[in-house]
Structures are given as C-alpha cells and as structure tokens.
Structure 1
Amino acid sequence: MAEEVRSIKDLRAAYYANTHAIDKRCQKHPTVLMIRTKNPCTGNVLEFCPECGQELINRDIAKAGAEAEAQIRNFKSYAVFERESIVSPKIAKETIGSYEIHTEQDAEAVNFVKRFATDYFKGRYEGNVILQGPPGVGKSHLALGMAKSLNEGFQKIGEKKSVVYMPVSELFMRMKEAFNLKGAKWEERATIKFLQDVDFLVLDDLGKESNVGNSIREGSSWAQSVLYRLLEGRTKTIITTNYAGEQLKQLYEPSLLDRILAGKDNVFRFKTDTESRRRI
C-alpha cells in the first residue's frame, strides 16, 4: 500500500513539474495565458485556457444542480402543493366550503368547481377548467379551493399526485429574475418542465402578466412562448382570468388560445356586473 501511495504522489509531483504557463493567449480570453501540461504516464502534451476550463466546470455544476432540483421538484406528493405553490396570505386559508353563497350565481359557481374537481379526481375529465369574470368575484378563491380539494383527496387515498397553485404574473416575474442566475430555481427551461409535469396546475389571473390598468395589448412573444410550451404538455390546468373571449383574442395568438381553452363545457363566466366580494 505504501508503494502505491508513493507512486500516486510521484505522479502528482511529475504532473505539476510539467505544468506551466506559456507565452500564448486564449482567443476567447485574450488577457489569459494558456497552460501547457504533459501527462507523466503517456507523454501527451495538452494546452488549455484555465478560464475556459473553469467556465466548463461551472456549466457542469449548474447542470447537475438543475437536474437535482428538477428531481426534487418533480417528486409527486402531497407536500408539493405547500412547497411549490405561491399563494397570497389573503386567501391562503380559503377552501371551496368557505366560499359564501349570496346569490344564485354564487351557488352555480360552487357547483361548477365541485363537479370538475370530482371529475378530475375520478379521472373522468381531460381538459382545462376556466373561471372567467371581473376582479373580486372569488375566482382565485374557488381555484385555490379546487387545488386543495384535489391535493387532500389524493392524500386520503394514498395516491401520489402533484398539485400546484401559481399566479401567472408572479411566475413570470420570478422567471425574469432568474435570467442571469446560473442554476436558479426559476430558470426558464427547468420551470416549464416542472409545471408541465405537475398533475394539476392552477394558473391564476391569466392575462395580468401582459397588461397594466385597463389597457389590453398582445402579450410579449416571450410570455406567449412560455405559456405555449407550458400548456402544450398539459391536460389538466385550472385557469382564472378577468378577460372574456374577444379580450383573450387580443392578448394571445390563436394557437396559444386553443390550448388555453382546451376542454368541453369547461368555462364558468361570472356576469360582468357581478359585485366584488371585497365590498360585500
């Protein structure tokens, strides 16, 4: 064993003795001198830029970190909802049962989400569910209630399913912040892959990511591309939006709109004059 250890030490010493900077600069990093090294075993000579080598190492580390994060995030379990969802404290405790019924429309809305939650749970429906109407009528409340109902239902029967609640504007903000951060949790490709793989996803307040105030304008090509790729790989997405059919046509390209509306008899529309529940 001692002979083997001395041999390894000798090889290391020989490697360092044959490694040195040379008067040659990297084309990519013109201020950095190249390194020349000679393999003590084979005699092969190699020249390399230490800065390029470090960049390669950094890419490998970032890739490994992203893959590890994806494995953790893709694990289907009850805990995914609490770990990955972004829920406003104002509605965090709400359920379908806590939605107060004041009008016939309220009752219809509750029955609508209960029916689709049951159909999702029992595997009887493949498609999206859309809650459309003016601000403040309780769309987010009901969508969150559906998400909780599904998550807790699958937990009770011991079936591993993943459920995530995601406000669209918050999602895009975090993805933009991650543009220049290597290995960031909200890196675009990893985030889209994660949200594609979630069994049940709530996209809350669709359209808000593209608009300010009362103006309606077509979403950016980047935002539309992200939504298209995300929805292209999904079959069960719960969507809330303040915008009706014609308004959605102004916001999104036809191919994306088809994927948003995918489903059958799947839209509940609150009347435009529905009073905000925030004032009730």
Structure 2
Amino acid sequence: MKRIIDGENKWDGIWLHQTTPTNEYCEKHDYYKRYFAKIQKNICPFCEREKKDEELEKLSLLQYQREFKRKREYFLNKYSSLNEEIRVATLDNYEVSTPEEEQALEFANKIAEEYISEAKNNVVLIGKSGSGKSHLSHGIAKLVSDTKEWVVPYVNIVDFMTRVDYKNKASMIERIVEAKLVVIDDLGSEMDNQLTRDVVYEIFDKRTRTLITTNLTGEELIRRYSNRTYSRIMKGVDESHFMKFDNMKDRRRLLF
C-alpha cells in the first residue's frame, strides 16, 4: 500500500483525474496500474516514464551520430580544396585497368585494414601528379573514418599553408596533431619558406599514423626540409608501407 501512495504522490492531480485504479499489478515497480481512458489501456506510470527516457536517449544518440558524421565529413575535406572527383573518391570506385593499378588498390586496401586495426606507422605514396595517389589516399581515409568513426582530416598541404601564419600556427597544427589519422596530400608542393618548413616539422614531430602523398623522392624531401624532418616523415615506414607509382599512367590525361 505504501508503494501505491508513494507512486501516486509522484503524479499531479491531472494524472489522477484522468485515470482510475485497477487490480492489474506491475511487479517491476510494485505498483497497481491505472486505467487511462484516453488510450484505453492500463498503464504503470513508472514504466511509461522509463519508455520515454529510453526514447529520448535513442533520439539523443541518433542526433549525436548524425552530428558526428557531419563533423567527420567536414574535417575530411576542411583543409583541402578538393575537386568533385577526389571528394567522392573511394577504394570501391577506383578503376583498375592495368596490373600496376591493381597492385596499388591491393596496397591501399591493406593499409586501410592496418589503420582500422589501429596501426600507428606512417605510410608514403610517391609518384607524379595524376597517378591516382590522391584518389587512393582519400579512399583510405574515408574507409577508415566510416569504419572507426574517426575524424580524419584530409590535408592538402598547399591549401593548408595558405591559411597558416605565425599567429595561428600553433592552433592550426594542434587540430592536425590531435586527429587519430591524417592524410597529408601533395607534400612538397607548398611554397618553400621557413614557416612552411617549421609547420611540416612540427606536424610530423608531434604525431604518428599519417598517410603522406608526394611527388618528391626521399633525397628531394631531405633537401627541401632536412634530415631531421625526413626521419619524422618516415616514422614506421618500411617497404610494406611505401608505394612508388613509377609506371602508373596519368589518370587525368586527355583522350584526344
């Protein structure tokens, strides 16, 4: 009887006025259900409250997931003025017509699987413009981001450096360093000055698990940045985490 009194005290006069007592018992809450004429049903107010709380929790989770997905997609493209072809690039829509392209796709899928398993090493893709590096790197980033629900910034170094100056350098670098995986696209194509060299060094000094695409050879990277920066770019990079697009055709070549 005490449970009934306590339960009824939790509800205002409107609730009691709109319902009538019943003999149906809710064992979970030690409470006799009340008949709600409006819906023609015996209900336990505590059960109803729990249902509403669960619905609100599911709704909040759904809203969070939608917002987080929007955030992931935003950061995937935030630091790069990608053309539409690369923006929609995935490993699934990478077209294979040569043995070299098939090998490159196999390599990209392997790297994606390793990052999904949370490998921490860097990976380097090197080759001339139009060889498919950006497509594959974006495809890796998207697959990992979708699978792990990570925020994966895709950073075209040229676009990124146009937004960096000595005043905002620290905050811009921090955003990159904090991400679990980052793609640095077209490394070495940015303007060569002390600021860009400092930024590149700080990014690679403070993080691992970075996917790099570049047109420069190892010797050219050393000359451009320094041995110290190069060693940080190459963290964890061995023959199985390095792909050279030597014989790849230009995927953007004119057909006539």
Q: Same fold per TM (> 0.5)?
A: yes
Of 88, 92, 95, the residue aligned with 1:93 is: 88
Deviation at 1:78, TM superposition (A): 3.7
Deviation at 1:221, TM superposition (A): 2.0
Q: 1:229 aligned to 2:223?
A: no
User: Matched residues in 1 for 2:227 and 2:157: separation?
Assistant: 19
**Residue in 2 that maps onto 1:270:** 245
**Residue in 1 that maps onto 2:34:** none
Q: 1:173 aligned to 2:130?
A: no
Deviation at 1:275, TM superposition (A): 2.1
> What is the aligned length?
182
User: Matched residues in 2 for 1:202 and 1:239: separation?
Assistant: 6
TM-score, length of structure 2 as denominator length: 0.67
**Residue in 2 that maps onto 1:215:** none
Q: Which amino acid aligns with 1:223?
A: T
User: Matched residues in 2 for 1:127 and 1:103: separation?
Assistant: 28
Deviation at 1:77, TM superposition (A): 4.3
RMSD of equivalent CA atoms: 1.8
Of 246, 254, 260, the residue aligned with 2:227 is: 254
Q: 1:81 aligned to 2:72?
A: yes
User: Matched residues in 2 for 1:220 and 1:80: separation?
Assistant: 32
Task: Say whether the 8 Å CA contact 2:100–2:248 is kept in structure 1.
Answer: no
Task: Say whether the 8 Å CA contact 1:132–1:240 is kept in structure 2.
Answer: yes
Residue 188 to residue 260, structure 1, CA distance change in 2 (3 Å): same
User: Matched residues in 2 for 1:208 and 1:112: separation?
Assistant: 24
Structure 2 residue runs of 5 or longer lacking an equivalent are: 1-66
User: Matched residues in 2 for 1:269 and 1:77: separation?
Assistant: 35
2:85 aligned counterpart, secondary structure: coil
Residue 209 to residue 144, structure 1, CA distance change in 2 (3 Å): same
Q: 1:201 aligned to 2:196?
A: no
User: Matched residues in 2 for 1:77 and 1:203: separation?
Assistant: 22
Structure 1 residue runs of 5 or longer lacking an equivalent are: 1-75, 156-160, 181-186, 211-218
Deviation at 1:262, TM superposition (A): 1.3
Task: Say whether the 8 Å CA contact 1:80–1:164 is kept in structure 2.
Answer: no
**Residue in 1 that maps onto 2:117:** 122
Deviation at 1:80, TM superposition (A): 3.2
Deviations 1:141-189 (A, max 9, x none): 000000100011113xxxxx2211010000000114xx67xxxxxx211
Deviation at 1:136, TM superposition (A): 0.4
User: Matched residues in 2 for 1:88 and 1:231: separation?
Assistant: 26
Mark the structure with the bigger radius of gyration: 2
Deviation at 1:81, TM superposition (A): 3.0
Deviation at 1:135, TM superposition (A): 0.9
User: Matched residues in 2 for 1:260 and 1:137: separation?
Assistant: 21
User: Matched residues in 1 for 2:182 and 2:69: separation?
Assistant: 14
Deviation at 1:247, TM superposition (A): 1.7
Task: Say whether the 8 Å CA contact 1:78–1:151 is kept in structure 2.
Answer: no
User: Matched residues in 2 for 1:188 and 1:221: separation?
Assistant: 13
Of 200, 213, 217, the residue aligned with 1:244 is: 217
**Residue in 2 that maps onto 1:151:** 145
1:205 aligned counterpart, secondary structure: strand
User: Matched residues in 1 for 2:206 and 2:230: separation?
Assistant: 14
**Residue in 1 that maps onto 2:13:** none
* Percentage of identical aligned residues: 29
Deviations 1:186-216 (A, max 9, x none): x211111110001110110000003xxxxxx
Deviation at 1:231, TM superposition (A): 1.2
